[in-house]
């Protein structure tokens, strides 16, 4: 297999793995409408909690970080391909981000937790930084991981540890979902998601430092593309083995600290700032374990065949992401089947497995007949509108 082809396949496999993980979590959350069915037997409550804790431990925040990493990597691949032809891709990339934002707004009608609009806006920051040297990009990314604005909040909390803190502002907007998600009107649901829901998600991402993490992953992905870290060579395999060891050790150290930190810190104000900074570091460590394990296993014949099952889902990640929003909201929201009332984590997990199987079969069939996914094809054509082949 040629290195260029293999690189694209392993990227698709990683992206497909992430889209499956997102599918599992979104179903458990009833697509952002948290509701615990009443009158469940005790054994079901315990089973639901086990399923919830396990899946969130494995995938929460890790899947979106993988997507962000690959977003930056894809930016490099597209820019590099155009550079080989003597063209500057940055202007076309800006237009591509506008299109992604439009897709995200459409997706937000069905699922307020949409991440596409956020990726589109933050993606514009890649344009002025595209030609910076790798050391500068890594330095900026590290600063982003350190959550610079949250340090200001921590300093204030250290100076006044007894100060009272209010609930995050996003909670107010999340609470208002009760006004429209249970309703049978899809119009009211769309209106609520695109207004109240959008505010809730943007505030939540800001309050939890997600914007800084996404930007950092974009930059790391750009550097990974320059270094050709997903091309199968002896050097890159050694690199990913080192990443696996370092990330595993980091997670083993950081995760227990994360669990006990709330008990060590008496001040609620200090605890909030510390946990906002510390939690993403633990998640990124486990995310790197996933990325390095999948990348290394992809080089082994027996595992490559299995991991290639994820590739068509990853190649059609935009279509899959939006399709799961439409299907999921139709299953759980009031305008559809309203199954949020009856499904705890276990039943939602089983539904997610069925949806994953359905989308997997669809993607494999589509990939045999078409070069691009349904929405990927539209995105591609609109990206290059006004140019000749």
- Give the tens place of pLDDT for each residue, 227-283: 999 998 999 999 999 999 999 999 999 999 999 988 888 898 899 999 999 999 999
| pTM recorded for the entire structure | 0.93
In a domain, 290, yes or no: no
In a domain, 310, yes or no: yes
Express each pLDDT in 115-172 by its tens digit.
999 999 999 999 999 999 999 999 999 999 999 888 888 898 898 888 888 889 999 9
Tell me how many domains the chain contains: 1
Distance of CA 310 to the CA centre of its chain: 16
H or E segment to which residue 249 belongs: helix 234-264
Distance of CA 184 to the CA centre of its chain: 29
In a domain, 160, yes or no: yes
In a domain, 118, yes or no: yes
Is residue 56 a contact partner of residue 348, using CB atoms and an 8 Å limit?
no
Three-class DSSP category at 338: coil
In a domain, 256, yes or no: no
In a domain, 105, yes or no: yes
In a domain, 84, yes or no: yes
Q: Which positions of the chain have pLDDT values less than 50? A: 1-7
Burial class (CB in 10 A: 0-12, 13-18, 19+), 156: middle
In a domain, 262, yes or no: no
For residue 140, the enclosing domain spans 3-237+301-383
**What is the rounded CA–CA span in Å between residue 266 and residue 269?**
9
């Amino acid at each position: 297999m040629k290195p260029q082809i293999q690189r694209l396949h392993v990227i698709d496999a990683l992206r497909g793995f992430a889209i499956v993980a997102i599918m599992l979590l979104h179903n458990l959350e009833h697509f952002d409408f948290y509701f615990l069915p009443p009158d469940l037997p005790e054994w079901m409550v315990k089973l639901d909690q086990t399923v919830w804790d396990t899946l969130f431990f494995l995938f929460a925040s890790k899947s979106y970080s993988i997507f962000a990493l690959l977003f930056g990597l894809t930016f490099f691949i597209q820019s590099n391909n155009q550079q080989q032809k003597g063209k500057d891709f940055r202007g076309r990339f800006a237009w591509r981000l506008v299109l992604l934002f439009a897709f995200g707004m459409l997706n937000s009608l069905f699922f307020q937790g949409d991440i596409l609009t956020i990726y589109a806006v933050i993606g514009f920051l890649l344009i002025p930084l595209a030609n910076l040297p790798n050391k500068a990009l890594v330095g900026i990314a590290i600063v982003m991981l350190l959550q610079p604005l949250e340090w200001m909040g921590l300093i204030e909390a250290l100076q006044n540890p007894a100060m009272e803190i209010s609930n995050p502002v996003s909670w107010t907007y999340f609470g208002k979902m009760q006004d429209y998600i249970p309703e049978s009107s899809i119009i009211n649901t769309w209106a609520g998601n695109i207004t109240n829901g959008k505010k809730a998600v943007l505030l939540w991402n800001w309050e939890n430092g997600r914007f800084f993490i996404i930007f950092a992953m974009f930059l790391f992905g750009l550097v990974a593309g320059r270094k050709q870290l997903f091309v199968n060579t002896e050097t890159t395999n050694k690199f990913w083995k080192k990443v696996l060891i370092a990330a595993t050790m980091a997670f083993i150290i950081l995760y227990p600290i994360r669990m006990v930190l709330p008990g060590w810190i008496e001040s609620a104000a200090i605890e909030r700032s510390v946990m906002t900074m510390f939690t993403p570091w633990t998640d990124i460590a486990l995310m790197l374990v996933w990325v390095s394990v999948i990348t290394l296993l992809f080089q082994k014949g027996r595992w490559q065949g299995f991991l290639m099952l994820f590739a068509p889902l990853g190649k059609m990640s935009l279509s899959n992401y939006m399709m799961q929003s439409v299907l999921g909201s139709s299953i759980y929201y009031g305008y559809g089947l309203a199954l949020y009332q009856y499904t705890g984590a276990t039943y939602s997990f089983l539904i997610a497995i069925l949806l994953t199987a359905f989308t997997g079969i669809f993607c494999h069939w589509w990939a045999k007949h078409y070069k691009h996914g349904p929405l990927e094809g539209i995105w591609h054509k609109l990206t290059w509108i006004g140019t000749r082949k």
